[in-house]
């Protein structure tokens, strides 16, 4: 079966691969496009831009989202910016440098060809977004402004205050609205995909639940695009939106799509620390803050103790008694090291006892220097809304005292395995954006998620899907009365009935919290063989507990948020297990995946290129069967693979 | 902290709603309003399965449904009318960014859904806001096809214009403006989009058409007229100014005169 992992990377020089592939792809004539139907699941940056672009091309598109409007997808919460190799700053940026930074930032676990293409189309994304009327930040001369993000030494990040994701999503959503108005796209809000329908080995449709009425509905198409984001909520506490989930992707996995690198989860260094056990969601503070904010903890334990007792304020600690540990450990990049490195460094200080709040799990992010250097007005313009948000949540003003931050789960680099065309191992099924695995390797750089979502949705998928659809226009509309639809719908109904029938004693959230504890403890920032084995066993036991003792109130035929959560948790329990299994298999430290057994004497991540320079792609083998691991070797022809160095 | 929560319960769009009152205690000051509702829901589910409570005749209506998602004040999903104010007593925040330290310990808090003829109730505190999508589908976009854009820096926009456009573009589409307006008008929402695009050169070619089409759609969907009470501006969680309504009016009139 390993032959399913054909990455379809075009031959030829790196910089010509995408052009070459595009020229090979068969076209579909306008009159045939009208006969072809495409389902897009998810309306974040990837899904909305893909659905809009496919609609513009003339395909019949159906687009689904779980929220009441496509505009609410979690891309909206991305704050800091979007990368593009424009070199508007004349700081010697280029497509190659963006490519290189992304591969290096991902700790050499992503595909050269995919990442190069991402960097290549990045500039066109900015052009597209400006044309849509996105109010990016401007210099006084009217030109676009840039800032820097972690893991890079140029300024290539475009931004709209601290709301870049919102603005980009509203742009894609506007394009989607344009197509809905034109009749090429039909929108199904408050619909959740609960199964993929595969006929003769090809993706032909989905089963979705109407979240308002509870009706189980069938939708057929010639191809299906999954754009449903990541699975970070397996940890319960994360920066993901409350409703973000991995279920659509997981159903694809269970129908035969391989799932790649599930253990690669990103832990973001700058989140507001956990404040108590009533919390269900963590809030991110944008990475852009690290442009001007300096991260530190006290040097003296005495000061730490006083801080925890509120006997002194952080601003009272003199300069020489502060440990700016990122600047100390990584002089070349300082506060702008990649996320995984910054997160581990924060954990290291807190584990050593220097955490600055009552829980001991917080470090400072300080703007005093920036306010002195730039003035209040400039800082307000750059970060005003983030400062306001921080103050609203914590009741403490970053203008007066430093912010307190701590790492939290933020993004998942792993996802459905796709080839160069973004097609999964199931023909006709595509995965884009965070839902696929392809571009970020072991760690994603800041401001690159927006770039990838829009690259996939605007410029890559609408082209590559044509190659598949060019063979399909003669096929009739998918018949949703086919036995495969019947069967899939029956299975969905059975799953729902089963959940209601349990009538147990535990709420969905309380079980989800238990899963979160296991995940954070054993599959979090520091992983060991022993811990991961324990995690697998504990998750299995918890899964059993869930299916025997969960309480799902109400009924199916109504708006029922507890049922929605229960269905998602059922999948998170399985996703969590696969994450642990993948982490156990990968006996190296790499990007966000840190195995305590594999580190340098200085405590840096130690990769094992000889044994693990591959994409792990897991194949589902059935309920209670062990999944099978397939390996896609990674070849680096254009980049010199080295140990990541952010020190000099 | 502890509170009495007087919450609107309604099974579905067709049934009649009513208030139910619940007592809740052990709430941290730093808990958000929605975290408090999460805790209430845990309590309500437990009551529903607790044989003692059920035997006592406790008839639970089950957990309270409410829209929420990002809990960072940006997705616009949360939409509660708390003690007579959209998004509650704190200024310029969404419900999810409202914290319990803003309430008096022991007080009774009334929680209702958005009340506006444009937003029919789906269940409890959840309303249907697809009308806002429809207004935007009427013209809240720039007609540019993917791939046809020129280099981004070929369009120069002054810093001030870009900032002003961004002020309007900050709208999260939550519906507080229409829910709070005594006329049930969606003018601030429409104005935010029209103004944001009208301020930019890219938005000019369709400006007249956009203003007319979006206002017409708003009227058609049953939203009321604007009588300048400025309540919308007061309650907008993103602080969007009624100055944008003035700009919408200018755009709209100019469009009408040029007919």
pLDDT tens-digit map of A28-40: 999 999 999 999 9
Is residue A226 within 8 Å of A430, Cβ to Cβ? yes
CB B244 within 8 A of CB B168: yes
Residue B36: strand, helix, or coil:
helix
Return the sign of the alpha-carbon dihedral for residues B69, A235, A577, A1: positive
Residues 6+ apart with CB under 8 A from A295: A269, A324, A325, A326, A335, A342, A346, A363, A364, A365, A366, A405
Contact A592/A443 with Cβ under 8 angstroms?
yes
Dihedral angle sign, alpha carbons of residues A261, A263, A264, A265: positive
pLDDT > 70? residue B59: no
Inform me whether the pLDDT recorded for A637 exceeds 60.
yes
What pLDDT shows up at residue A560? 97
Report percent pLDDT > 90 for chain A: 91
**Contact indicator for A350, A360 with CB cutoff of 8 Å:** yes
Candidates A127, A133, A553; nearest CB to B203: A133
Asked if the Cβ–Cβ distance from B146 to A53 is below 8 Å, we say: yes
The strand ranges marked E within A481-549 are: none
Cα A223 from chain centroid? Answer: 23
Query: Do A380 and A374 touch, CB atoms closer than 8 A?
Result: no
SS3 labels along B119-170: CCEEECCEECCHHHHHHHHCCCCCCCCCCCCCCHHHCCCCHHHHHHHHHHHC
Position B58 confidence tier, pLDDT thresholds 50, 70, 90: low
Looking at the DSSP assignment, which residues form a beta bridge with residue B111?
B7, B82
What digits encode the pLDDT tens for the residues A406-437? 999 999 999 999 999 999 999 999 999 999 99
Is pLDDT of A596 > 50? yes
> Is A559–B126 a contact, with Cβ atoms under 8 angstroms apart?
yes
Q: Rounded to whole angstroms, how far apart are CA atoms B89 and B82? A: 7
B66 C-beta neighbours (distance < 10 Å), count: 23
Asked if B71 lies within 8 A of A135 by C-beta distance, the reply is: no
**Closest to A121 measured CA to CA, from A453, A510, A474, A528:** A453
Buried b (16+ CB within 10 A) or exposed e, B226-254: beeeebbbbbbbbebbbebbebbbebbee
Q: What's the pLDDT at A287?
A: 85
Mean pLDDT along residues A445-465: 97
- Of A237, A232, A261, A327, the residue nearest A590 (C-alpha): A261
Residues whose CB falls within 8 Å of the CB of residue A622, separated by 6 or more in sequence, listed in order = none
Interface test with B, best of A44, A72, A243, A388 (most B CBs within 10 A): A72
CA distance linking residue A381 with residue B163, whole number of Å = 9
Distance CA A235, CA A281 (A): 10
Q: Which of B146, B159, B173, B203 to mutate to test the interface with A (most CBs of A within 10 A)?
A: B146
Residue B24 touches partner A, C-beta closer than 8 Å: no
Nearest to A144 among B101, B153, B165 (CB): B153
> How many CB atoms lie under 10 A from the CB of residue A377?
9
Region of A187 please: left (phi>0), alpha (psi -120 to 50) or beta: beta
Residue A647, pLDDT above cutoff 70: yes
Instruction: Please tell me the distance from the alpha carbon of residue A320 to that of residue A310, in angstroms, as a whole number.
Output: 20
Q: Looking at residues B70-82, what average pLDDT do you find?
A: 97
The pLDDT confidence band at residue B57, using thresholds 50, 70 and 90, is low
Tell how strand A60-64 and strand A37-41 pair up: parallel
Show the tokens assigned to A490: 């029956």
Helices (H), chain B: 33-49, 51-55, 130-137, 159-169, 176-180, 187-198, 207-220, 231-235, 243-257
Predicted confidence (pLDDT) per residue in B142-177, tens digit: 999 999 999 999 999 999 999 999 999 999 999 999
Which pair of structure tokens corresponds to residue A535?
A: 């995690």
Task: Read off the tokens for A287.
Answer: 């990475």
- Chain A residues near residue B12 by CB distance under 8 angstroms: 558-559
* pLDDT tens digits, A280-301: 899 999 888 998 999 999 999 9
Contact A132 B144 (CB under 8 A): yes
Rounded distance, CA B67 to CA B44, Å?
18
Whether residue A2 has pLDDT greater than 60: no
Q: What is the pLDDT of residue B54?
A: 67
> Is the CB of residue B86 less than 8 Å from the CB of residue B176?
yes
Sequence length of chain A is 648
Query: How far away is chain B from the Cα of A232, in angstroms, using its nearest Cα?
Result: 13
Residue B106, chain A, CB below 8 Å: the answer is no
B91 at interface of A, judged by CB pairs closer than 8 A: no
Which residues lie below 8 Å from residue A521, measured CB to CB, with a gap of 6+? A531, A535
Neighbours of A445 (CB within 10 A): 26
Q: Which helix (H) or strand (E) holds A158?
A: strand A157-158
In a 3-state reduction of DSSP, which class is residue B200? coil
Contact B144 A128 (CB under 8 A): yes
CB A76 within 8 Å of CB A110: no
- Chain A residues in contact with B158 (beta carbon < 8 A): 138, 140, 142
* Over residues B17-34, mean pLDDT: 95
User: With bands split at pLDDT 50, 70 and 90, how would you rate the model's confidence at A1?
Assistant: very low
The DSSP element (H or E) to which A103 belongs, if any, is helix A95-105
Task: Examine the predicted complex and report whether its ipTM is higher than 0.95.
Answer: yes
pLDDT in tens, A367-403: 999 999 999 999 998 888 889 889 988 999 999 999 9
What's CA A378's distance to the chain center, in Å? 31
Category of B110 on φ-ψ map: left (φ > 0), alpha (ψ -120 to 50) or beta:
beta
Q: What are phi and psi of A415, to 5 degrees?
A: 170, -165
CA distance B80 to A321: 47
Q: Which of A609, A610, A601, A593 is nearest to A643 (CA)?
A: A609
Does residue B95 surpass a pLDDT of 80?
Answer: yes
Task: Write out chain A residues lying below 8 Å of B202, CB-based.
Answer: 130-133
To probe the interface with A, which of B72, B96, B131, B161 has the most A CB atoms within 10 Å?
A: B72
Catalytic residue flag (residue A344): no
Q: Does B238 touch chain A (CB under 8 A)?
A: no
Going by pLDDT thresholds of 50, 70 and 90, the confidence category of residue A574 is very high
CA-to-CA distance for B200 and A130, rounded, in angstroms? 10
Nearest chain A residue to B42, by CA: A507
Which residues of A are less than 8 Å from B68 in CB distance? 242
Q: What is the pLDDT of residues A505-542, one digit of tens each?
A: 999 999 999 999 999 999 999 999 999 999 999 999 99
Instruction: Check CB contact of B77 with chain A, cutoff 8 Å.
Output: yes
Q: pLDDT digits over A135-172, tens only?
A: 999 999 999 999 988 888 999 999 998 899 999 999 99
Q: How far apart are CA A221 and CA A428, in angstroms?
A: 10
């Amino acid at each position: 079966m390993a032959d399913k992992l054909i990455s379809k990377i075009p031959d030829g020089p790196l910089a010509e691969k995408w052009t070459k592939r595009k020229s090979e792809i068969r076209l579909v004539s306008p009159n045939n496009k009208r006969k072809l139907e495409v389902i897009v699941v998810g309306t974040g940056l990837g899904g909305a831009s893909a659905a809009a672009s496919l609609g513009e091309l003339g395909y019949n598109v159906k687009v689904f989202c779980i929220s009441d409007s496509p505009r609410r997808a979690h891309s909206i919460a991305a704050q800091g910016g979007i990368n593009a190799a424009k070199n508007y700053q004349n700081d010697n940026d280029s497509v190659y440098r963006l490519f290189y930074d992304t591969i290096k930032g991902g700790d050499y676990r992503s595909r050269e060809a995919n990442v190069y293409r991402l960097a290549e189309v990045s500039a066109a994304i900015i052009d597209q977004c400006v044309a849509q009327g996105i109010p990016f930040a401007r210099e006084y001369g009217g030109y676009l402004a840039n800032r820097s993000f972690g893991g890079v030494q140029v300024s290539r990040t475009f931004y709209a205050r601290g709301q870049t994701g919102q603005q980009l999503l509203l742009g894609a959503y506007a394009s989607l609205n344009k197509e809905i108005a034109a009749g090429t796209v039909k929108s199904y809000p408050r619909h959740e995909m609960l199964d993929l329908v595969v006929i003769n080995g090809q993706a032909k449709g989905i089963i979705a639940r109407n979240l308002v009425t509870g009706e189980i509905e069938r939708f057929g198409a010639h191809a299906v695009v999954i754009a449903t984001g990541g699975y970070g909520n397996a940890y319960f506490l994360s920066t993901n939106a409350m409703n973000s989930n991995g279920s659509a992707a997981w159903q694809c996995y269970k129908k035969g799509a391989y799932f790649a690198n599930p253990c690669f989860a990103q832990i973001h260094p700058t989140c507001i620390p956990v404040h108590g056990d009533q919390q269900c969601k963590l809030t991110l503070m944008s990475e852009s803050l690290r442009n001007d904010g300096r991260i530190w903890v006290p040097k003296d334990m005495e000061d730490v103790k006083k801080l925890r007792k509120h006997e002194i304020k952080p601003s009272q600690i003199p300069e020489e008694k502060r440990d700016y540990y990122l600047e100390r450990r990584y002089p070349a990049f300082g506060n702008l090291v990649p996320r995984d490195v910054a997160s581990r460094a924060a954990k290291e200080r807190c584990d050593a006892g220097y955490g600055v709040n009552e829980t001991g799990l917080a470090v400072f992010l300080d703007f005093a220097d920036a306010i002195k250097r730039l003035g209040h007005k400039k800082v307000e313009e750059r970060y005003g809304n983030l400062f306001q948000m921080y103050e609203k949540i914590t009741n403490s003003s970053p203008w007066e005292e430093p912010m307190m931050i701590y790492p939290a789960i933020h993004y998942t680099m792993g996802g459905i395995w796709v080839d160069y065309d973004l097609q999964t191992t199931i023909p006709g099924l595509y995965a884009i954006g965070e839902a696929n695995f392809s571009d970020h390797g072991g760690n994603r750089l800041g401001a690159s998620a927006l770039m990838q979502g829009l690259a996939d949705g605007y410029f890559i998928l609408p082209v590559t899907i044509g190659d598949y659809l060019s063979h399909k226009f003669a096929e009739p509309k998918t018949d949703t009365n086919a036995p495969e639809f019947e069967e899939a719908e029956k299975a969905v109904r059975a799953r729902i009935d089963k959940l209601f029938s349990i009538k147990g004693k535990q709420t969905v959230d309380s079980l989800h919290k238990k899963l979160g504890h296991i995940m954070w403890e054993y599959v979090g920032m520091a992983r060991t063989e022993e811990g991961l084995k324990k995690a697998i066993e504990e998750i299995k036991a918890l899964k059993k507990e869930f299916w025997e003792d969960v309480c799902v109130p109400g009924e199916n035929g109504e708006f029922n948020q507890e049922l929605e959560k229960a269905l998602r948790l059922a999948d998170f329990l399985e996703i969590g297990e696969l994450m642990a299994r993948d982490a156990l298999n990968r006996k190296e430290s790499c990007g966000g995946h840190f195995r305590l057994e594999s580190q340098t004497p200085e405590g840096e991540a130690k990769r094992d290129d000889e044994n693990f320079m591959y994409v792990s792609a897991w194949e589902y083998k059935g309920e209670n069967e062990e999944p099978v691991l397939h390996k896609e070797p990674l070849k680096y022809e254009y980049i010199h693979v080295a140990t990541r160095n952010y020190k000099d | 902290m502890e509170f009495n929560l007087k919450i609107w319960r309604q099974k579905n769009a067709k049934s009649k709603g009513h208030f139910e009152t619940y007592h809740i205690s052990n709430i941290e000051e730093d808990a958000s309003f929605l975290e408090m509702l999460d805790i209430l829901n845990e309590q309500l589910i437990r009551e529903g399965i607790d044989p003692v409570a059920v035997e006592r005749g406790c008839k639970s209506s089950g957990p309270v449904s409410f829209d929420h998602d990002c809990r960072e004040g940006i997705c616009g999903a949360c939409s509660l009318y708390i003690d007579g104010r959209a998004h509650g007593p704190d200024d310029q925040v969404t419900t999810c960014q409202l914290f319990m330290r803003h309430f008096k310990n022991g007080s009774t808090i009334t929680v209702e859904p958005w009340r506006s003829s444009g937003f029919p109730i789906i269940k409890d505190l959840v309303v249907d806001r697809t009308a806002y999508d429809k207004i935007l589908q009427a013209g809240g976009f720039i007609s540019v096809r993917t791939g046809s854009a020129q280099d981004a820096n070929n369009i120069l926009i002054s810093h001030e214009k870009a900032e002003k456009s961004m002020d309007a573009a900050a709208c999260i589409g939550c519906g507080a403006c229409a829910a709070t307006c005594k006329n049930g008008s969606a003018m601030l929402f429409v104005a935010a989009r029209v103004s944001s695009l009208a301020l930019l050169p890219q938005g000019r070619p369709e400006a007249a058409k956009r203003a007319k089409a979006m206002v017409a759609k708003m009227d058609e969907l049953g939203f009321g007229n604007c009588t300048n009470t400025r309540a919308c501006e007061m309650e907008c969680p993103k602080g969007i100014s009624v100055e944008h309504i003035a700009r919408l009016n200018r755009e709209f009139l100019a469009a009408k005169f040029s007919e």
